[in-house]
Chains A and B, each alone.
Chain A
């Protein structure tokens, strides 16, 4: 449910890896109760003259629940996401998989029984809506996509393994696209463990309204002090883990 990034940061550039990929890393912090993130993002201005009109990647569900555990409170998600709406970042669409601790839910109806499910979540005007898209198997890999292919460039939709969902969001070009994990109640969950892989077999792509372009470099998205670790980088596969 918590998707809006709290960023009071600077970002510092660092040269990453032998591939010479330029990564701009920035910290994301928030209130004590704020959600935490681990992964990669792109934001405006980006990508030459291309607008951010979509994101997709393979995301592999860990083979064991011990590698995708929210701990004792809150929910943990891994998803493809787009945000827009200016400074308020009031428009969000995301799809991925989620697991909530016993007694916790995502928006009241997703993962209500400590069950691992696919989901689509949309936020507009402060109201967040989640729709469950069935259970998802451990060790399986799925391509999660959100993009805007409407002729008028005003409607975003979500796909799981290429199958379009009926939910939609009215939004033009995105301000951010993310491929990341999220924990909704990190401070109260005790020890939680996560290890999710992105980018294999389908690399992270961004949609520019004409074609999918494989992301070559991106900004690291790790909430300061959260314990999330990102290993590897686009255009290859990468993993996000905690602790």
Chain B
């Protein structure tokens, strides 16, 4: 009897120790390996109403075409849903194939006048329709998860350049408000002086909700670049006040100074700064010890 009780006690202690060890190992694993990813949310609220009025269950082709038309941009020539881009394979870090996750990629083709800063407006238009289409695909009765996006820029001579897309770990159904174009533009115009900008062009695209696109000039490019984030927030009335924002800043002579193209439904942010104002500088060629490494 005593032996039995002792055995039970020992078993209980062992089980407890085992439980503690298991919990410790789990905790260590959680700290040492991938921790749960918490998606980024830019808007204050989310709402299914963002896509509720749309026929998200129509054919994917029709949905893609409708999304491009609704956005109001004119640079996206093709938007489609399919597999990964040619040559893309899901691999581990050694290049060995791994099982691809279930889902689709969104592909967009845009007309671009050139490579670099001058292409950013067109690429932003691709970013915003990709983001809007992703929302609708995820809202379908049979959900289509979106794994990635690929943008191809088509130059005037027909040469196609892969630009890359990007899908952030971002909350779906963010509600950025449903201001009319008139309201959004009036707000931006009111804020422009405070941001040190004089607006030369302003339009509002509508992939799902308003997405203002601004071209403006500044008398002080150095100050603008230095305070860019604050000036952008001032102009648009806060951080991520709209589902997407485009700002192209020029100097008095008309030269590009700064371009920001933000898409808060996917988290894709693109920024260009005129090289002479950009704190980055080229690397000078230099030697080294080839044996190092």
Which residues of A approach B to under 8 Å, CB–CB? 1-9, 11, 13, 22, 24, 26, 30-31, 33-35, 42-48, 50, 54, 56, 83, 87-89, 103-110, 112-113, 115, 117-118, 120, 122, 124-137, 139-142, 145, 147, 149-152, 155, 159-164, 166-170, 175-176, 184, 201, 206-207, 211-213, 215-219
Contacts and interface: CB of A to CB of B under 8 A. Distances in A.
A119 to B, nearest CB: 8
Given A43-B288, A134-B169, A149-B93, 20 more contacts: A7-B284, A44-B288, A89-B282, A103-B230, A109-B263, A122-B164, A126-B117, A127-B271, A130-B268, A131-B168, A131-B266, A131-B268, A132-B40, A132-B267, A134-B40, A135-B37, A145-B93, A168-B88, A170-B162, A219-B292
A106 B293 CA distance: 31
19 contacts: A7-B284, A11-B286, A43-B288, A87-B285, A88-B282, A122-B166, A128-B271, A131-B166, A140-B35, A151-B87, A152-B87, A166-B105, A166-B165, A166-B166, A166-B167, A176-B283, A206-B293, A212-B94, A217-B293
A104 to B, nearest CB: 5
A142 B34 contact: yes
Contacts of B149: 166
A193 B266 CA distance: 31
B158 interface: no
Interface stretch (B53-61, B213-221, B232-240): B232-240
Contacts of A110: 267, 269
A217 B289 CA distance: 10
Contact of B281 (A4, A155, A159): A4
Given A117-B40, A125-B115, A136-B35, A109 B269 contact: yes
Given A2-B279, A83-B283, A89-B283, A109 B162 contact: no
A35 B290 contact: no
Interface string B210-251: 000000000000000010011011000001100000000000
Contacts of A150: 87, 95
A149 B287 CA distance: 27
B31 A175 contact: no
Given A159-B93, A167-B165, A167-B166, A7 B283 contact: yes
Nearest to A112: B239
A131 B288 CA distance: 33
A175 B279 contact: no
Nearest to B226: A33
